[in-house]
Amino acid sequence: MRVSEGDVEVEAPDPRDGSSEGAGDAVFFNPEMELNRDLTVAVLRAYAERTDAGAANVDSGGGERTLSYLDAMTATGVRAARAAEAGYDVTAADVDPEAADLARENLALNDLPGEVVESDANVLLHSERFDVVDLDPFGTPMPFADAAVAGTRKLLCVTATDTAPLCGAHFDSGVRKYDTVPRNTDFHREMGLRVLIGALSRVAARRDVAVEPICSHATRHYARTYLDLTHKATAADKALQWLGFVHHCEDCLYREHEFGRIAHPPEDCPNCGSARCSTAGPIWLGPIVDNEFVDAVADEVTPNMGEWKRVSRLLDALGAELDTPTHYDQHRLCKQWGAPANKLEEFLDDLRDAGYEASPAHYGGTCFKTDADVTEIREAAEPAVDTTGE
């Protein structure tokens, strides 16, 4: 079938055909990932602007340089084609010869320049370097993370679709893949994103590389992060200081976090005394976005993108989201208290009126962030039970 995304058109296998269920034989095309690709294009445009501005500041005299971009698991080549359209010097790689052929055809179909390589991502990334590398695997990206850090000069873009291991729902798999203790909490999407970034930061540190997440989100069934890399040991040391642990009470939903590589879990919940406290980590506790960069990305979202409205809403939410390492679910709290759930905006206004910071979380639904703890949230914002009998 012919698919059109942004300003490019590609041939792709119809995902409704039974043979193309992700790990099947046919080249994989996931229309669900259009939002992911739209946002990638906006990020790439904003990143090129930022790099040009940086180069002008140091007055290198070389003028603007086209950044190179590797789509390391290209499949149909749609992501690579869109990066080429955004002005990048594109290489598309796939280990599957059929996919490499299709990617080549799709670049040609759009008259876009770009090299297509039939190669395993790890082999390629250990032998060549690119300014920007995009890892968009089916499942976990971790088997490719070390090579990706080695092969990336500046920006590493990573998708993970294995949300169950990431958020601790598949605990053993999460421990193996991400070398951490993930916990299945009521803030599971945030847990997944921070397990992913934490694991990538440790892999990068082994190569004296620091990661700075400049845009990250958890949407539907995947987590995605854009990591600005600094190849410097002292910077890597500093980045590792953002790692730490979250202690979480399964009964009252109280949570607290601590930085460092050694955990000091409370014996019992400091809030309700329950012994059912669990600790997750090490995970990334630092910022997951650079607000200035997110604003710049929002300026690069254009109406020719199929998902531009949702991407814009997502970026607005990311820009306004409080920088705390966990979020709460308003409905879960209200259920816990036996209180009726009111509108999230009302609930957040009550928190702000009581002097706390509060924002919706980009994860959507009834997720929010605040600097109040669970008791303070209840005191400030518990909706009254309607006793008028109506």
Asked if residue 89 belongs to a known ligand binding site, the reply is no
CB 184 within 8 A of CB 163: no
Q: Is the Cβ of residue 117 or residue 249 nearer to Zn ion in the bound state? A: 249
CB of 274 to Zn ion, least distance (A): 4
Q: Is the Cβ of residue 49 or residue 251 nearer to Zn ion in the bound state? A: 251
3-class secondary-structure state, position 213 = strand
CB of 252 to Zn ion, least distance (A): 3
Q: Is the Cβ of residue 269 or residue 297 nearer to Zn ion in the bound state? A: 269
CB of 271 to Zn ion, least distance (A): 4
CB of 333 to Zn ion, least distance (A): 13
Q: Is the Cβ of residue 154 or residue 248 nearer to Zn ion in the bound state? A: 248
CB 169 within 8 A of CB 125: no
Closest CA to 204 of 165, 240, 157: 240
Q: Is the Cβ of residue 135 or residue 252 nearer to Zn ion in the bound state? A: 252
Binding residues for Zn ion (CB under 5 A): 249, 251-252, 254, 269, 271-272, 274
Q: For residues 56 and 139, what is the distance between their CA atoms, to the nearest angstrom? A: 39
Sign, CA dihedral 50-52-53-57, equals positive
Residue 202: alpha-carbon gap to chain centroid: 16
Q: For residues 366 and 383, what is the distance between their CA atoms, to the nearest angstrom? A: 14
Q: For residues 333 and 125, what is the distance between their CA atoms, to the nearest angstrom? A: 46
Q: Is the Cβ of residue 62 or residue 338 nearer to Zn ion in the bound state? A: 338
Asked if residue 129 belongs to a known ligand binding site, the reply is no
Q: For residues 112 and 130, what is the distance between their CA atoms, to the nearest angstrom? A: 19
Q: For residues 372 and 351, what is the distance between their CA atoms, to the nearest angstrom? A: 8
Asked if residue 120 belongs to a known ligand binding site, the reply is yes
Q: Is the Cβ of residue 229 or residue 253 nearer to Zn ion in the bound state? A: 253
Asked if residue 272 belongs to a known ligand binding site, the reply is yes
Q: For residues 193 and 222, what is the distance between their CA atoms, to the nearest angstrom? A: 9
Q: Is the Cβ of residue 47 or residue 254 nearer to Zn ion in the bound state? A: 254
CB of 98 to Zn ion, least distance (A): 54
Asked if residue 367 belongs to a known ligand binding site, the reply is no
Q: How many CB atoms lie within 10 A of CB 316?
A: 15
CB of 361 to Zn ion, least distance (A): 21
N-to-C CA span, the chain: 55
CB 269 within 8 A of CB 277: yes
CB 236 within 8 A of CB 208: yes
Asked if residue 194 belongs to a known ligand binding site, the reply is no
Cα–Cα distance list, 271 to 246, 267, 337 (Å): 15, 12, 15
Asked if residue 37 belongs to a known ligand binding site, the reply is yes
Tell me the two tokens of residue 283.
């995970």
CB of 355 to Zn ion, least distance (A): 23
CB of 263 to Zn ion, least distance (A): 18
To the nearest 10°, the Cα dihedral for 7, 45, 209, 123?
20
User: Which residues define the annotated binding site for Zn(2+)?
Assistant: 249, 252, 269, 272
Binding residues for S-adenosyl-L-methionine: 37, 79, 94, 120-121
Residue ranges of the binding site: 37, 79, 94, 120-121, 249, 252, 269, 272
